[in-house]
């Protein structure tokens, strides 16, 4: 039997009620286990890197609130005294699908509004009713490989979705400031190294193309209607809340599973791709800062450092005591640990029809105009993610249920 399901940003929890016959444990659907999982993921950020708390009295609407960035941004805005409205897709099992924001549901300043970026009516109603001062459009189909499988849906949600938000604001709350979640995927086949706000775009996936449309329409609404509308061109940012299919989290969860005896080996794609990886908790601060300035503008948000997928894997595995030695090339690439066991193998199915080989952003403008600098190093980020995933696997073992498996 083949079950067809809508893609969700937190798939483990959303599909937790589906039995997984190929795993050695049955996944329990009990609320307790889901809450336990959510508690690990939503532990507060330890370092005090946010600006001092301001009791703002402002109202913000956030799309994509159930995702990685949405959950961190909601925490930041609540901390600053905002009334926060999160747009959520209607799901049949609301508790399980919202593991990253379950801890916010009892906050009286936190509200969920049903809506979908594909549906203009629902966004119109949400904006008209909540009358936000600031609107953060973080919602998207954000997984690049899926964008080749579902290009129309990606264009509709990731591209046109931004236009629907702008239209809703123009009609129902023209005073509202708008933030669009742009992406380094807009640069694709890069024309400059490092990439700046002036670097031309050359997207390499339907996702990248949709983000270029969203960027351009945001600029167009700013110029056409004098709206306060900005795009943050964000480079890859990760955290313990990152979706399990993205490479960093796939690596850290698999390293944790291998360390605890659930798997023997990580199956991976192109390990030579290079990314500028930062910490999502640092990056949502910049999203907020962009809407606090006097004039709207677009900014690169990045660390200015790049690492290969291979380096990221080596670092993650070293945190669980495995020192990898690499050999082979392309689809024959493997890595063995100090005992000679193969811990990484390559599968061509994880390669992309068109790859973005190298991304490295120049965050100089963000520092100069908004005083923003990333506070977390690559090494700290990887360690934080490995530690979190080891804790998740250990808690699953204690609870007698199966630890999460990264989807393919």
Judged by beta carbon distances under 5 to 8 A according to partner kind, the member of ligand NAP, ligand F7E, none in contact with residue 10 is ligand NAP
Q: What is the DSSP string of 261-313?
A: TS-S-EEES-TT-EE--EEHHHHHHHHHHHTSSSS---EEE--S--EEHHHHH
Judged by beta carbon distances under 5 to 8 A according to partner kind, the member of ligand NAP, ligand F7E, none in contact with residue 245 is ligand F7E
Judged by beta carbon distances under 5 to 8 A according to partner kind, the member of ligand NAP, ligand F7E, none in contact with residue 160 is none
Query: Is there binding between residue 64 and ligand NAP (CB under 6 A)?
Result: yes
C-alpha distance from residue 393 to each of 39, 86, 181 (Å)? 13, 30, 32
Q: Which of residues 122-151 bind ligand F7E (CB under 6 A)?
A: 142, 144
Q: What's the CA gap between 91 and 249, in Å, rounded? A: 25
Among 77, 210, 233, 247, binds ligand F7E (CB under 6 A): 247
Contact 148, 205 (CB under 8 A): yes
Judged by beta carbon distances under 5 to 8 A according to partner kind, the member of ligand NAP, ligand F7E, none in contact with residue 144 is ligand F7E
**Helix, strand or coil for residue 232?**
strand
Query: Is there binding between residue 16 and ligand NAP (CB under 6 A)?
Result: no
Query: Is there binding between residue 309 and ligand F7E (CB under 6 A)?
Result: yes
| Residue 201, number of CB atoms within 10 A of its CB | 20
Query: Is there binding between residue 8 and ligand NAP (CB under 6 A)?
Result: yes
| Closer residue to ligand F7E in complex, CB, 250/289 | 250
| Closer residue to ligand NAP in complex, CB, 114/336 | 114
Q: Which of residues 321-350 bind ligand F7E (CB under 6 A)?
A: 350
Alpha carbon dihedral 166, 285, 14, 161, in 10-degree steps, equals 10
| Closer residue to ligand F7E in complex, CB, 59/180 | 180
Q: What's the CA gap between 234 and 286, in Å, rounded? A: 10
Q: Is the peptide bond before 179 cis (omega within 30 degrees of 0)?
A: no
| Closer residue to ligand NAP in complex, CB, 101/324 | 101
Query: Is there binding between residue 118 and ligand NAP (CB under 6 A)?
Result: yes
Shortest Å distance, C-beta 71 to ligand NAP: 8
Among 183, 314, 376, 388, binds ligand F7E (CB under 6 A): 183
Q: Which long-range contacts (CB under 8 A, 24 or more apart) does 187-190 make?
A: 187/356, 187/359, 188/354, 188/356, 189/356, 189/357, 190/356, 190/357, 190/358, 190/359
Q: Please give the span between the terminal C-alpha atoms of the chain, in angstroms, as a whole number.
A: 18
Shortest Å distance, C-beta 303 to ligand F7E: 13
- Binding stretches for ligand F7E (CB under 6 A): 142, 144, 183-185, 235-236, 245-247, 250, 268-270, 273, 275, 309, 350, 352, 355-356
């Amino acid at each position: 039997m083949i079950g067809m399901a809508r893609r969700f940003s937190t798939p483990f929890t959303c599909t937790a009620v589906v039995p997984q016959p190929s795993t050695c444990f049955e996944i329990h659907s009990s609320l307790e286990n889901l809450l336990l999982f959510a508690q690990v993921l939503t532990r507060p950020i330890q370092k005090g890197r946010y600006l001092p708390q301001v009791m703002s009295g402002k109202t913000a609407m956030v799309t994509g609130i159930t995702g990685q960035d949405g959950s961190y941004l909601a925490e930041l805005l609540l901390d600053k005294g905002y009334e926060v409205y999160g747009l959520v897709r209607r799901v049949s099992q609301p508790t399980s699908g919202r593991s990253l924001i379950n801890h916010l549901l009892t906050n009286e300043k936190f509200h969920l509004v049903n809506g979908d970026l594909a549906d203009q009516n629902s966004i119109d109603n949400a904006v008209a009713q909540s009358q936000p001062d600031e609107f953060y459009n973080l919602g998207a189909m954000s997984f690049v490989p899926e964008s080749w499988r579902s290009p129309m849906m990606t264009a509709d949600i990731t591209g046109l979705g931004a236009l629907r938000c702008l239209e809703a604001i123009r009609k129902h709350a023209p005073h509202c400031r708008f933030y669009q979640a742009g992406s380094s995927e807009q640069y694709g086949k890069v024309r400059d190294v490092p990439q700046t706000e002036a670097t031309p775009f050359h997207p390499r996936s339907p996702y990248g193309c949709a983000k270029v449309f969203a960027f351009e329409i945001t600029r167009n609404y700013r110029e056409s209607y004098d709206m306060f509308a900005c795009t943050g061109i964000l480079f890859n940012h990760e955290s313990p809340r990152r979706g399990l299919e993205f490479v960093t989290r796939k690596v850290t969860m698999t390293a944790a599973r291998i360390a605890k005896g659930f798997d023997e080996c990580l199956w991976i794609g192109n390990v030579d791709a290079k990314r500028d990886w930062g910490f999502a908790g640092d990056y949502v601060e910049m999203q907020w800062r962009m809407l606090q300035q006097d004039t709207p503008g677009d900014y690169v948000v990045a660390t200015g450092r790049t690492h290969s997928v291979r380096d990221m894997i080596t670092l993650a595995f070293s945190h669980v005591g495995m020192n990898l030695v690499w050999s082979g090339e392309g689809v024959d690439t493997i890595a063995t640990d100090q005992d000679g066991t193969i811990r990484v193998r390559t599968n061509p199915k994880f390669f992309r029809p068109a790859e973005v080989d190298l991304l490295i952003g120049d965050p100089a403008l963000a520092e100069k105009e908004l005083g923003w600098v990333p506070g977390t190093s690559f090494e700290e980020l990887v360690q934080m993610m490995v530690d979190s995933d080891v804790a998740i696997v250990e808690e699953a073992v204690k609870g007698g249920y199966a630890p999460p498996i990264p989807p393919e």
